[in-house]
Structure 1
Amino acid sequence: MVFKNILKSLSLKSKKLESINSKIIKEKSDTDWRSIYIATFVALISSIQGFSIIPILWPYIKFINPEISEIANGAFQGASALGNAIASIFSGYLVNKTSNTKPALIISRILAIFSTFIYFGIELNSKSAIYLMIAYQLLMGISFGFGNVYRTHIAMATKESERSKGYGLSNLSYSLGTILGPCKFFI
């Protein structure tokens, strides 16, 4: 009788282990690593872009227009933060409603490209440089706000057991961007 109970409990435990193993195998095959690698690479490029421009904004605008005050620098940074906050809320709502991060990520890159053209125009007209810089910073803030949903994409595309690897790649790309962005000043 005791043997039968032990055998039954062992067979039940082995069935549970088999079902857990089959779930783990299915989990590994369901993760879309290709999209995670692409999103992480785009985040790396965005981070490099941001950290290569941010340190030189104030010296650049001061060179273009020497009469500019420090208050303008606060306006630049505030415009970026405001755009980021508004876009983060809106993109979060959009992703929550559609369960799709791709539109927000595409909008992010389009806005970043458009704002770069505004940045190129700052040098052409020194009188309106302040307004162009505020517009650039506002659009870049909006772009970063929409781009932050790549972390949501990682959460949606990975299984729970592999999520830490996805987030690790994401944090690595951001950290590399903060290092590689300003490196151009040392070359």
Structure 2
Amino acid sequence: MKKIDVTTTENLYGFIRGLYAFGNVIFSMLSGWLSNKASDTRPAMIIGKFITILAALAYLFVEVFQSFHVVLFIAFEFLLGTSSGICSVFRTHIAMASTEADRSKAFGITQLATASGFVVGPY
């Protein structure tokens, strides 16, 4: 934020970062409740991935539209927190989709994929 707008304060940045946690908490509870009611986690995961794409687009346009950079950064953080909260049902999906004998292997593969994404993603 400081590279785009040098007048940005730390309080604004803290507020924007807090929106991630707020979206995560609210939508984690909501998606868990809705997935429990529907007995299916796939719609929540699909919606969560779609919102992740919207968040990435908002972040992409932060530098393109200089006059709306704060609004776009707010949208990015809130949408990313929202998608993270909605996609938190993936553990339930793995537990429902795998057999008891294969469950530990399924969780291990998921954790390996997540860790690999964190390592390879920035490159």
If the length of structure 1 is used for normalisation, what is the TM-score?
0.62
Matched, 1:75 2:45: no
Matched, 1:139 2:79: yes
Contact 1:72 1:130 in 2 (8 A): no
5+ residue gaps, structure 1, are 1-60
Cα deviations across residues 128-181 of structure 1 (Å, max 9, x unaligned)? 312221111000110111112111110001111211111111111111122223
Cα deviations across residues 72-119 of structure 1 (Å, max 9, x unaligned)? 221222111111111110110011111111110110111111122222
Contact 1:118 1:136 in 2 (8 A): yes
Aligned-pair RMSD on alpha carbons? 1.4
Aligned to 1:28: none
Aligned to 1:124: 64
Matches of 2:106 and 2:57, distance apart in 1: 33
Matches of 1:66 and 1:126, distance apart in 2: 12
Flag as ranges the 4+ runs of structure 1 deviating above 6 A: none
Counting aligned pairs with the same residue, the percent is: 39
Query: Which structure shows the bigger proportion of residues in helix conformation?
Result: 1
Cα deviations across residues 8-54 of structure 1 (Å, max 9, x unaligned)? xxxxxxxxxxxxxxxxxxxxxxxxxxxxxxxxxxxxxxxxxxxxxxx
Mark the structure with the bigger radius of gyration. Answer: 1
Task: Count how many residue pairs are aligned between Structure 1 and Structure 2.
Answer: 123
User: Using CA pairs below 8 Å that are at least 6 residues apart, which structure has the higher relative contact order?
Assistant: 1
Question: Equivalent residue of 1:123, what SS?
Answer: coil
5+ residue gaps, structure 2, are none
